[in-house]
């Protein structure tokens, strides 16, 4: 029981603590959540965030709480206290000390105290405090049983509610119901055009997708079975409902990358119209399969000019965003065991839906070698006149060769920055990436690749966004490239877009260290001239007439 907790042997000696850990505790213990219906600042306190007193001194914690409250107590304010779900309760001596530390302005300017999911400890505490607390203060206390009831008093959609509070609330109600005047349009099961709008530049990616991708890149790339294993179904539902209510959601507080991965798939699965409707199946089946020839870009060209062009602008951008994440996850397949094949098989069932479920299953399969075949096993070509390509195969190609297919999609710059740092470790994949460990070291000069050209090729090409479905409208003389990085930025092997340069740089087929391909960013940089090749798909280019050799240059200097 809390009143039997033994006092610390020496209250003058405080246990050692990590300041960074204390800051993390404070972020969960006390937060500010906008204003209530009477425009008073709301301060939210969560008992479940109370730490082990053996790890962090409660006296230090009290000082931090008071310093946080000092920001709001100069004027009227409201406190929401989530009392349930706590593992550790402070002793009575500390409670009395905390009360005495509250000056008159703390008590006077507090206009309402909502105690949600009141525990035995909180009830006894308030009852015993009746002897020393004025009746006027008691009138400010409001006990609340459920989050649905709390929604009638304050705008709970402004509160970042902890998972422990959701678990406690399930003991009292199965679903959270908001008042009619607070109900908002859901995020899931809403058409993309309604969520994003008629036009997008890549910044309108729905919030659940952005949050999931950010959390997975920061904490889940090495988790085994990502996008394949299932999370806690109760917490998954709570997170989804929170997004639909418009609640702020911090996925890191759930502590499960599998939850973010499944939430990512659910968004696509519950779209009213799938990304790939039944009308696109025939286009997908005609996609040329990949071959052993690294210079064969037939599949890439077909995906860019036919499959992506058949999608709406919003659908193609959301697909590019999703496959960008899949590509990043596949680079860590040595640890998470999720290569391009496994990811394509997990994602594709959520992107299709037709009147015949059997056809949908066939479209999601992986033709050619068995899933358990060694990596790099080629997919045999179909006999002439037959079509065997599936969406699973198309997604696999897109994941493995993402930057050759989606180089024109200007996605969120913050996503690319996060992704860039995640590629610092070498991976045993067909495409290996070596990136800067510190993005702060990258400046505009690093975003330029110098290509030696003849005088007749002196021209400047600036990156220009061309939507997939408008690609055929470009002029033959236009070439749209991703931002080209220097040799210490990125080296992507095995991509057809660079093979021409590699071949021209060395007769033995070795890649010149100056021939590199960067990924798209929101920054615009001017690059040196390149030679266009007629109607070849944007992003493809030929080698310079006389490429420079680092080895040869070194010999000449000697």
| C-alpha R_g of the chain | 29
Token pair listed for 70: 């000092």
Residue that wins the pLDDT comparison between 381 and 117: 117
Check whether 458 has a pLDDT greater than 60.
no
Token pair listed for 210: 């952005």
pTM of the predicted structure, to 2 decimals: 0.56
Check whether 396 has a pLDDT greater than 60.
yes
Confidence of residue 445 (pLDDT cuts 50, 70, 90): very low
- b/e sequence 17-45, b meaning 16+ C-beta within 10 Å: eeeeebeebbebbbbebeebeeebbbbbb
pLDDT, mean of residues 32-44: 80
Q: Delimit the domains of the chain by residue range.
A: 2-175
Closest to 299 in 3D by CA, of 399, 428, 433: 399
pLDDT number for residue 376: 53
CA atoms of 427 and 375, how far apart (whole Å): 13
DSSP assignment of 381-412: PPPTT-----HHHHHHHHHHTHHHHSTT----
Q: Are 447 and 484 in contact (CB under 8 A)?
A: yes
pLDDT number for residue 134: 66
Check whether 306 has a pLDDT greater than 90.
yes
Helix extents (H) in 203-312: 207-219, 233-245, 257-269, 281-285, 298-302
pLDDT, mean of residues 497-524: 39
Taking only the tens place, the pLDDT of each residue in 147-191 is: 999 998 888 888 889 999 999 999 999 888 888 756 665 889 889
pLDDT number for residue 181: 59
Check whether 354 has a pLDDT greater than 80.
yes
CA atoms of 79 and 284, how far apart (whole Å): 56
- Class of 2-175 per CATH? alpha beta
Q: Which residues contact 313 (CB under 8 A, 6 or more apart)?
A: 199, 200, 467, 468, 469
pLDDT number for residue 182: 61
Q: Distance between alpha carbon 155 and the CA centroid of its chain, in Å?
A: 27
Check whether 385 has a pLDDT greater than 60.
no
pLDDT, mean of residues 385-409: 86
Taking only the tens place, the pLDDT of each residue in 75-129 is: 788 889 998 888 887 777 777 777 777 777 777 788 888 999 987 767 776 666 5
């Amino acid at each position: 029981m809390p009143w039997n907790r033994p006092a610390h042997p020496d209250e003058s000696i405080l246990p050692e603590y990590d300041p960074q850990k204390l800051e993390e505790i404070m972020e969960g213990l006390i937060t500010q959540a906008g204003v209530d219906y009477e425009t008073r600042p709301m301060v939210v306190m969560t008992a479940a965030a109370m730490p082990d007193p053996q790890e962090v001194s409660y006296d230090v914690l009290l000082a931090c709480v008071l310093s946080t409250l000092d920001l709001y107590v100069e004027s009227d304010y409201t406190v929401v206290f989530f009392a349930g779900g706590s593992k550790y309760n402070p002793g009575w001596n500390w409670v009395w000390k905390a009360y005495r530390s509250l000056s008159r302005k703390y008590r006077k300017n507090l206009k309402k105290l909502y105690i949600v999911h009141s525990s035995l400890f909180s009830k006894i505490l308030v009852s015993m405090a009746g002897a020393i607390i004025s009746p006027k203060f008691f009138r400010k206390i409001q006990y609340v049983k459920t989050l649905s009831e709390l929604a009638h008093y304050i705008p709970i959609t402004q509160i970042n509610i902890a998972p422990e509070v959701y678990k406690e609330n399930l003991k009292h109600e199965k679903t959270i119901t908001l008042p009619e005047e607070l109900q908002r349009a859901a995020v899931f099961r809403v058409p993309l055009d309604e969520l994003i709008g008629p036009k997008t530049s890549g910044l309108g990616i729905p919030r659940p997708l952005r949050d999931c991708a950010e959390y997975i890149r920061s904490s889940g790339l090495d988790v085994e079975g990502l996008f394949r294993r299932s999370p806690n179904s109760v917490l998954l539902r709570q997170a989804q409902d929170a997004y639909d209510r418009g609640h702020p959601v911090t996925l890191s507080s759930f502590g499960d990358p599998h939850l973010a991965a499944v939430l990512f798939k659910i968004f696509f699965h519950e779209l009213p119209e799938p990304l790939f409707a039944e009308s696109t199946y025939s286009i997908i089946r005609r996609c040329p399969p990949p071959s052993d020839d690294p210079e064969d870009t037939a599949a890439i060209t077909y995906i860019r000019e036919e499959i992506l062009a058949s999608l709406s602008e919003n659908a193609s951008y959301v697909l590019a965003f999703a496959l960008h994440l899949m590509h990043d996850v596949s680079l860590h397949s040595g640890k998470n065991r999720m290569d391009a094949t496994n990811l394509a098989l997990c994602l594709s069932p959520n992107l299709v839906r037709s009147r015949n479920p059997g056809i949908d299953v066939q479209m999601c399969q992986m033709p050619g070698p068995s899933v358990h075949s060694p990596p790099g096993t080629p997919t045999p070509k179909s006999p002439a006149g037959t079509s065997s390509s599936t969406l699973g195969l198309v997604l696999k190609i897109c994941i493995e060769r993402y930057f050759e297919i989606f180089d024109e999609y200007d996605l969120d710059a913050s996503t690319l920055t996060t992704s860039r740092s995640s590629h610092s470790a070498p991976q045993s994949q067909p495409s290996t990436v070596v990136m800067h460990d510190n993005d702060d070291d990258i400046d505009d000069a690093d975003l330029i690749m110098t290509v030696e050209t003849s005088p007749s090729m002196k021209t400047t090409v600036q990156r220009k966004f061309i939507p997939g479905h408008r690609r055929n409208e470009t002029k033959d003389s236009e070439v749209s490239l991703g931002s080209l990085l220097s040799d210490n930025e990125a080296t992507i092997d095995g991509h057809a877009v660079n093979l021409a340069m590699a071949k021209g740089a060395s007769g033995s087929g070795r890649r010149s260290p100056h021939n590199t391909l960067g990924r798209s960013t929101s920054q615009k940089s001017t690059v040196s001239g390149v030679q266009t090749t007629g109607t070849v798909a944007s992003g493809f280019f030929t080698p310079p007439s006389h490429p420079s050799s680092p080895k040869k240059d070194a010999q000449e200097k000697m």
